[in-house]
Amino acid sequence: MLDIKFVRTNPDAVKENIKKKFQDYKLPLVDEVIELDAKSRAVQQEASNLRSERNKISKQIGGLMAKGLKEEAEEMKKKVAQDAARLEELEVQEKELAEKVTSIMMNIPQMIDDSVPIGKDDSCNVEVQRYGEPVVPDFEIPYHTDIMESFSGIDLDAARKVAGNGFYYLMGDIARLHSAVLAYARDFMIDRGFTYVVPPFMIHSNVVTGVMSFPEMDAMMYKIEGEDLYLIGTSEHSMIGRFIDEIVDEKQLPITLTSYSPCFRKEKGAHGIEERGVYRIHQFEKQEMIVVCKPEDSMYWFDKLWQNTVDLFRSLDIPVRTLECCSGDLADLKVKSVDVEAWSPRQKKYFEVGSCSNLGDAQARRLKIRVNGEDGKKYLAHTLNNTVVAPPRMLIAFLENNLQADGTVKIPEVLRPYMGGKELLVP
């Protein structure tokens, strides 16, 4: 969410940013919120003047009563009563106008970074760099669920009966591989100086609206009926929510955390051939990383975060590439984003396995996460997040890239301690 002062003084820049995100239908919001803000400030000023006048008159009444001038004091009291009625009206208007301004401001997108490529949707995302050589073996790579079934490692039919589409049972070596990847990712991030956290898996509505845009919320979040609780779609939600209404000492920054959680997503509108199997699902587990830092350090940490994911996947012999997300593909709270995509030998293309985002001060403004600077001045922190690994989607990349012609799957050396020393998975 932008600062209303910025919108007020830079309306043309805000409108241009909206155009860059191909959200022209939001252009009227800028003039509307500026007009409402002007009314809000006028009401606040009148209310402030009345409060000041009330305090002044109250002192005068006391003086008149002390002098025995009761009639004059009573006239003054009538004036106070009239002002009180008007003040009550103004306070109602204050609240209504503030709510309207906030509601509109939450729909105006964050200012994107100048380096973000301009494009309408993800088809305009720009490849930045490839890491590792994509290989297409001289044998056919089965669909990922077929590979898993060869190890008796997945049961989609039973899951469908128990919970419906979008769920799964993982079993045996595949389930162990799933857990091994998460454990390895946890230790990988700890070795890079991040503090490990297991956060709450449910959050209040004020945290939800603080960490994501309304369209994201509608497409992703499951609400607990009858309670002010939502299941998290990623641990970023509760991890950033941890700092709500806090003033962090600047000496504590940067705060670098890595978190494990199950994730729950509606996946509203998901469709297509690659939605089969465990590519798009309603429940999965993920290792995440988040950073809370000073504004001037956020781009440095942005590059560090996506590089962590690249390094982890390369340590598992999986070729990846990075994609710069274009303006139209950025969620409204994001300043800049890079997707990490893994190579799929079966599809002969890359597919998304992680997303790194710099949200600037958007989440901090909504959640009131401030920093107490060394000079005593307070300012908004910057927040960032990135996927370390998110199996079972990550398992698709792992199994396809480590599958052998005889149906076995090789285990990279770094993962063997988490697999009981196994070097191969044998069907």
DSSP state of 210: H
DSSP state of 110: P
pLDDT by position in tens, the chain (length 427)? 899 999 999 999 999 999 999 999 999 999 999 999 999 999 989 888 878 777 676 666 666 666 667 666 666 666 667 767 778 888 899 999 999 999 999 999 999 999 999 999 999 999 999 999 999 999 999 999 999 999 999 999 999 999 988 899 999 999 999 999 999 999 999 999 999 999 999 999 999 999 988 778 888 899 999 999 999 999 999 999 999 999 999 999 999 999 999 999 987 655 443 456 888 889 999 999 999 999 999 999 999 999 999 999 999 999 999 999 999 999 999 999 999 999 999 999 999 999 999 999 999 999 999 999 999 999 999 999 999 999 988 999 999 999 999 999 999 999 999 999 999 999 9
Q: What is the pLDDT of residue 184?
A: 98
Is residue 53 packed enough to be buried (19+ CB in 10 Å), middle (13-18) or exposed (0-12)? middle
Neighbours of 68 (CB within 10 A): 8
The interaxial angle of helices 298-315 and 172-191, nearest 10 deg, is 140
Place of tokens 């390369």: 314
Q: What is the pLDDT of residue 67?
A: 66
Closest-CA residue to 405 (of 132, 142, 134, 133): 142
Q: What is the pLDDT of residue 200?
A: 96
Helix (H) or strand (E) holding 50: helix 27-66
Length in residues, the chain: 427
Q: In the chain, what are the domains?
A: 4-105 (1.10.287.40), 122-425 (3.30.930.10)
Q: What is the pLDDT of residue 86?
A: 79
DSSP state of 140: P
Helix (H, G, I), strand (E, B) or coil at 258: strand
Q: CA separation (Å) from 258 to 15, 18, 197, 240?
A: 36, 33, 6, 12
Q: CA separation (Å) from 408 to 154, 274, 386?
A: 16, 23, 31
| Residue 353 near residue 387, CB atoms below 8 Å | yes
Beta bridge partners of 127: 323
